[in-house]
Amino acid sequence: MTDKRERPALDSEEIKKDFLILGREVHPGRSLVYLDSAATSQKPEAVIKAMDDYYWRHNANIHRGIHTLAEEATALYEGARAKLAAFINAPQPEQIIFTRNTTEAINLVAQSWARVTLKAGDRILLTEMEHHSNLVPWQILAAEHNLELDFIPVTPDGLLDLDAYRVLLKHAPKLVAFTHMSNVLGTINPARTIIQLAREAGAITLVDGAQAVPHMPVDLTALGADFYAFSAHKMCGPTGIGVLYGRRDLLEAMPPYMGGGDMIKSVSLRSFRPNELPHKFEAGTPSIAEGVGLGAAVDYLSALGMEAVAEHEHQLITYAMERLSQIPGLRVVGPDLAHKGGVASFTMEEAHPHDVAQILDFEGVAVRAGHHCAQPLHDKFNIPSTTRASFYLYNTPEDVDRLVDGIYRVKETFG
């Protein structure tokens, strides 16, 4: 079968050399095959070096200092914001708010925009395939402010039911919040259509792009989302920094999320005036080195080209689905390849997902087992958990073969 495989769009064998961790032997005689990028991606040497260089040569606090190091650090940090704005085609860098992660970005919208905008009886429309990060903040707010939550159903083949969505929009939701790509099913949702229909119904949109931005071209100007959230650590960048993009007029009208240094223009004992965008949402000393690392990650991905990354992953998931479909007793949940990103979540008749993951680890293959912070989605499919293999730019067809060989070892073990 190996000689019949289509070669991926990227030279992943060369790319792997940029990721020193991928050269590890995790068990005797077992080199690492990393298939858990939906949880967090590995980091190329260029990102790690950029962060090291910041600490070795430029370490200082930003924005307020006038000495050389402070000015250099500020330029690096704000330069990363500008790179990122260009990467996702945001209209202005000031519309990029740095947060800790996708979760904090969504909570910022919930606590700043929604808390002051929504009133009792207002409706929020979510989907059944959301990560907990795009469920729990709205559940908390709904309980506090007597809001109504509605959900776009997921069809048996892992797609959003757009006919049901159109019906739900007749209830005039104030907010439609949905994932661009499911972290469990791999479903790539028709974001532009969902956003356009929401706008026609008078609703604001928030998109969880944590699984989309690392894996495909994302053009926020063309997409038209009012808010869009994602994390650096899933796109070859460091942990500890995420992104909220917002429509400028909405961000201007929103009150600060946190109070402290740098988010103010002036302060007296009894009042303050907030700073301009983006600083009014970035209280305190930010994750400066992480911002520098994110900028380096954007450079790395831009050099590869996101179209090539997306095509590479499509070729890998096509090959993976072919191989997995030949394994008796294995079921992959989610849509067909026309709507699927590089994620394969599956169940096996013989073994629990945690047992599958543990045996695969003995074979050197790193996957994820559990409900992947999407428990309601697993309930929808009447399965408590799945084993998830997720692919990225450094994976190869040989990695798929190692996965499949490991699954057959599971079958041998459990008879």
Q: CA 159 to CA 44: how far, in whole Å?
A: 33
Reduced to 3 states, what is the DSSP secondary structure of residue 99? strand
Q: CA 62 to CA 185: how far, in whole Å?
A: 41
Helical ranges in 29-94 per DSSP H: 45-53, 68-87
**Residue 246 is which amino acid?**
G
Task: Kindly state the tokens that stand for 372.
Answer: 């992947």
Name the DSSP letter for residue 283.
Answer: -
Do the beta carbons of residue 88 and residue 220 sit within 8 Å? yes
Q: CA 293 to CA 343: how far, in whole Å?
A: 25
Name the DSSP letter for residue 187.
Answer: B
Name the DSSP letter for residue 7.
Answer: P
DSSP 14-28: HHHTT-GGGG-EEET
**CB count, 10 Å around CB of 361?**
17
Reduced to 3 states, what is the DSSP secondary structure of residue 207? strand
- Catalytic option among 21, 46, 373, 383: 373
**CB count, 10 Å around CB of 294?**
32
Do the beta carbons of residue 262 and residue 64 sit within 8 Å? yes
Best CA proximity match to 113, nearest among 203, 241, 234, 214 = 203
236 is catalytic: no
Do the beta carbons of residue 198 and residue 166 sit within 8 Å? no
- The residues, any chain, with a CB within 8 Å of residue 150's CB and separated by 6 or more, are 123, 124, 125, 126, 168, 171, 173
Query: 127 has which bridge partners?
Result: 152
What residues act catalytically?
Answer: 373
